[in-house]
Amino acid sequence: MRIVMMGTGTFAEPTFQAVLGGPHPVVGLVTQPDRVIGQERGSTRRAQQGMKEIALAHNIPVFQPESINTPEAVARLREFQPDLLVVAAYGQILSNDVLGVPGHGGINVHASLLPKYRGAAPIAWAIYHGETRTGVSIIKMSIFLDAGEVLAQESIDIGPQESAGELESRLAPLGGRLAADVIEQIAAGTAHGVKQDKSQATKAPKLTKEHGLIDWTRHARQVCNHIRAMQPWPTAYTYLHERGQTPQRLIITRATWAEGNDGEEVIGVVLGNPVGQSALRVRAGGQSTVEILELQPAGKRRMAALEFLRGHRVEAGARFGPETPV
């Protein structure tokens, strides 16, 4: 069975390695065009950090179309004569023409327990919404987004302090193992798909920088989930408003939460006297408190809250919120 791998970034790499370690020849890699090194918009994964290099090391042809769905790209894909497409975090929706090239169609490695969190950023949105378990689903691909029959699925716990990037690093090898199992089932003719219950489907849209803005009216637990979900991209951020000063943009990288807020009623206000404290305590919604443990001022490195407070005196009553107060 001839396989074409389709994927981009670190989530796809373990699947690629697993397929390469199997008995079926990998005849081509389709990956995104080379980009400037950095974090890909809307994803926790880093773009072009190894897929192309892995392919070249194994003398596998690499195809990098801007769109895989053009007639020219479909014709190039057909030249590989694939029997199966194995897709992981490729970043493009495949047309019927693409899926019709291989005899066995395509399978997709998706980082959620489908039908929950269909879309481009399932890991981040699972953490954002406070899920305690997630997993990987291998699905038979269709033209509808992440809606195909589930061929395999396995779940894992989400750590209470785990970021999206950390969780992705655990889910990626699980996806590779499950994909390898499903490939063998397809080759043996024993693969069995289970239809998704579309009434249970939820969305996980592509992330934008704007998704990082912290809403302090949410409960502190939800704010902390948001901070974890936005790591490593686009990062959670807020603005520190102090009397007589320009609002200062701060990326919040680590925080914890507690019930109660010293009776303070103003959302986003810094609680108590921060001088000498190891955390910035902020009033959130639902009578709760966020304790900021680590942050990154604009243009500076990440630092502990204690270090920030040593170099920046924050007066009691300072407030966090959007750049322009609502």
Q: Which of these, 32, 36, 147, lies nearest to 91 by C-alpha position?
A: 32
pLDDT at residue 36, as a whole number: 59
The rounded mean pLDDT for the chain is: 94
Where exactly are the structural domains of the chain?
A: 3-200, 209-321
Q: Do domains 3-200 and 209-321 have the same CATH topology?
A: no
What DSSP letter does each residue of 4-44 carry, written as one string?
A: EEEE-STTTHHHHHHHHTSSS-EEEEE-PPP--SSBPTT-S
Contact 249, 239 (CB under 8 A): yes
Give the burial class of 69: count Cβ atoms within 10 A of its Cβ; 0-12 exposed, 13-18 middle, 19 or more buried. middle
Residue range 55-72, pLDDT digits in tens: 999 999 999 999 999 999
Q: Which residues contact residue 301 at a Cβ distance below 8 angstroms, ignoring those fewer than 6 apart? A: none
Q: State which fold the 209-321 domain adopts.
A: Methionyl-tRNA Fmet Formyltransferase; Chain A, domain 2 (3.10.25)
Q: Is the pLDDT of residue 43 over 70?
A: no
pTM of the model: 0.94
Confidence of residue 77 (pLDDT cuts 50, 70, 90): very high
User: CA 197, CA 110: separation in Å to the nearest integer?
Assistant: 16
Inform me whether the pLDDT recorded for 41 exceeds 80: no
**Residue 122 preceded by cis peptide, ω within 30:** no
pLDDT (tens digit, 9 = 90+) per residue, 219-251?
999 999 999 999 999 999 999 999 989 999 999
The topology under which CATH files domain 3-200 is Rossmann fold (3.40.50)
In which band, very low, low, confident or very high, does the pLDDT at 177 lie, cut at 50, 70 and 90? very high
